[in-house]
Amino acid sequence: MKILILTHRVPFPQNGGYAIVVSNTIKGLVSSGHEVSLVALNAKKNNHENHLPDDDLVGKIKYRAYDIDTTVTLFGVALNLFSKTSFNIDRYYDPGFERLLIGELRNTAYDIIQFEGLLVSLYLSAVRKHSRAKLIYRAHNIENQIWERLSQQKVDPFKKSYLRMHARRIKNYELEQLTKFDAIAVFTQQDKTTIQGYGIKAPVEIIPVGLRLEKYVPDYSKTEFPSLFFLGSLDWLPNREGIEWFLDNFFKDLTEGDLPVRLYVAGNDIPDRFDDYEALGKIFIQGEVDDALEFVNSKAIMIVPLLSAGGMRVKIVEGMAMQKCIISTSLGAEGINVKNGSNILIANNHEEFFDAMQRCITDEEYCKHVGRNARRLIEKEHDIKVVTEHLVRFYESCL
Lowest mean pLDDT among 49-53, 215-219, 240-244, 316-320: 49-53
Find, among 254, 158, 143, the residue nearest to 198 by Cα. Answer: 143
User: Would you say residue 30 has pLDDT above 60?
Assistant: yes
Q: Which of 132, 61, 129 is nearest to 99 (CA)?
A: 129
Query: According to the per-residue pLDDT averaged within each range, which of 72-81, 136-145, 291-300 is highest?
Result: 291-300
What is the overall mean pLDDT for the chain? 91
Cα(207)–Cα(212) distance, rounded to whole angstroms? Answer: 15
The domain spans of the chain are 2-210+383-398, 214-381
172 exposure class (CB count in 10 Å sphere: 0-12, 13-18, 19+): middle
CATH class of 214-381: alpha beta
Say how far apart CA 356 and CA 262 lie, in whole Å: 15
The domains spanning 2-210+383-398 and 214-381 adopt the same CATH topology: yes
Q: What is the CB-side half-sphere exposure of residue 256 using CA atoms within 13 A?
A: 5
Report the half-sphere exposure of 117 (CA within 13 A, side-chain side). 21
Q: Which CATH number fits domain 2-210+383-398: 3.40.50.10780, 2.60.370.10, 3.20.20.10, 3.40.50.2000?
A: 3.40.50.2000
Q: Which of 150-154, 169-173, 280-284, 288-292 has the lowest mean pLDDT?
A: 150-154
Identify which has the larger pLDDT, 21 or 81.
Answer: 21
The pTM score is: 0.89
